[in-house]
Amino acid sequence: MLTLGTIQAGEVSGVARYAMSAPTLADVAELAGVSRQTVSNAVNSPDLLRPETLLRVQEAIDRLGYKPNRAARNLRTRTSHLIGLRMGPVQEGTASAIMDRFVHSLVETSREAGYHILLFTGSHEDPLEGYDDLLRSTAVDAFVLTDTYQGHGVAAWLRERRAPFVSFGRPWGDPEARHPWVDIDSSAGAELATQHLIDKGHRRIAWIGWRKDSVLGEERRSGWLHAMHTAGLSTTGLASRVEDTIASGRSAAEVLLDEAHPTAFVCASDTLAVGVLHTLAERRLQAGDDIAVVGFDDSQVAQTVWPGLSSVRQPLERAATQVVRQLEGLLSTPSQPHPGVMLTPTLEVRGTSGPDLV
């Protein structure tokens, strides 16, 4: 019987023969000197084999570059190894595309774990659009849910149907939620940005955030408030709540500069911070030297705009890795869901932080 350990130089042509076309299960069985059922067991139920047999089959698989037939495996196991992720429409007038970073990392990490991400679209008007079709067709094994802070009820809807999912975002205002989640502490991020400016000597630090009905916006605002109050600084007249657009950030900065006379701004997003930079440029004020500005999300715009926008950076790559780990636990047999994971952001300091005032 031919085994991997007995392949000699003159027998290499036999291995090369398999490379002429995609190797099959039968090719692996022949090279390893085992039955096709043994190869199938090695792929699907490795615990059934003796260690030395399993090792021989795995070496043959590696040498041939054999990949199991995904469609056939799906029929046997009733799994697709696909994870559904809904992508909403792009919002115009913004500077941030941080979801691109998250999705890219999620795709890479999922692939390493043996899963693939299936993207589907939906509208603002119908947050459930797309989920029902995928559930009915059993096209995916689970979902990754985002934007849980919007309160659109998708998590509860999936939970009622016993659909496995992990959310990127904690279950805001949902006391019944027991699903695994991963989130980033936005309050800590805004507090970090504000404390950075306080340490530089600023005492009148304005906040430009999102509308009051934005749970995430209020979460970020609380970090600014906590840092200011802890330092004994007044926040009266220094806050503005607007839409998350560059135009809104520009308008809010104009009003605050005229009425509150801040020496620095902390913004709930890089989009709003870019609006502040527009206003400063229009007034011939230098961002950093005259007025300090810190954004949130560390977008590509923050990294490229002159003189470099200081910004809170969310650990999106770590978040994606944690989401996949949660999925692996959720989909294991038996299911082993993990508790929620909270990650802490960092601050990228660039030119708009300006010099120390003290």
The domain that contains 134 carries what CATH number?
Answer: 3.40.50.2300
Residues 161 and 190 in one domain: no
Residues 60 and 204 in one domain: no
Where in the sequence is the domain holding 130, given as residue range(s)? 82-184+316-344
Residues 191 and 180 in one domain: no
The mean of the pLDDT values for the chain is 85
Residues 203 and 303 in one domain: yes
Q: Does residue 77 form part of some domain?
A: no
Q: Does residue 235 form part of some domain?
A: yes
pLDDT at 59 > cutoff 80: yes
The whole-model pTM stands at 0.74
Say how far apart CA 275 and CA 249 lie, in whole Å: 4
pLDDT at 276 > cutoff 90: yes
**Per-residue pLDDT tens digits for 225-275:** 999 999 999 999 999 999 999 999 999 999 999 999 999 999 999 999 999
Q: Does residue 100 form part of some domain?
A: yes
Residues 210 and 302 in one domain: yes
Q: Which of 67, 92, 118 is the last residue of a domain?
A: 67
**Per-residue pLDDT tens digits for 65-120:** 887 654 444 434 456 789 999 887 666 656 566 788 899 999 999 988 889 999 88
Count of domains in the chain? 3
Q: How are the residues of the chain apportioned to helix, strand and coil, as percentages rounded to the nearest 5?
A: 45, 15, 40
8: burial class by Cβ within 10 Å (0-12, 13-18, 19+)? exposed
Say how far apart CA 224 and CA 221 lie, in whole Å: 5
Q: Does residue 124 form part of some domain?
A: yes
Give the residue carrying structure tokens 């802070």. Answer: 149
Q: Does residue 266 form part of some domain?
A: yes
Question: CB 195: neighbour CB atoms within 10 A?
Answer: 20
Q: Which of 18, 39, 67 is the last residue of a domain?
A: 67
Residues 201 and 296 in one domain: yes
Q: Among 111-115, 143-147, 149-153, 319-323, where is mean pLDDT lowest?
A: 149-153
Q: Does residue 279 form part of some domain?
A: yes
- 116 pairs with which residues across the strands? 82
Q: How far is residue 134 CA from its own chain's centroid?
A: 22
Residues 288 and 207 in one domain: yes
Residues 192 and 202 in one domain: yes
DSSP tally for the chain: helices H, then strands E: 14, 12
Q: Does residue 201 form part of some domain?
A: yes
Considering just the CA atoms, what is the radius of gyration of the chain in Å? 27
- 265 pairs with which residues across the strands? 206, 293
CATH of the domain at 45: 1.10.260.40
**Per-residue pLDDT tens digits for 206-228:** 999 999 988 899 999 999 999 99
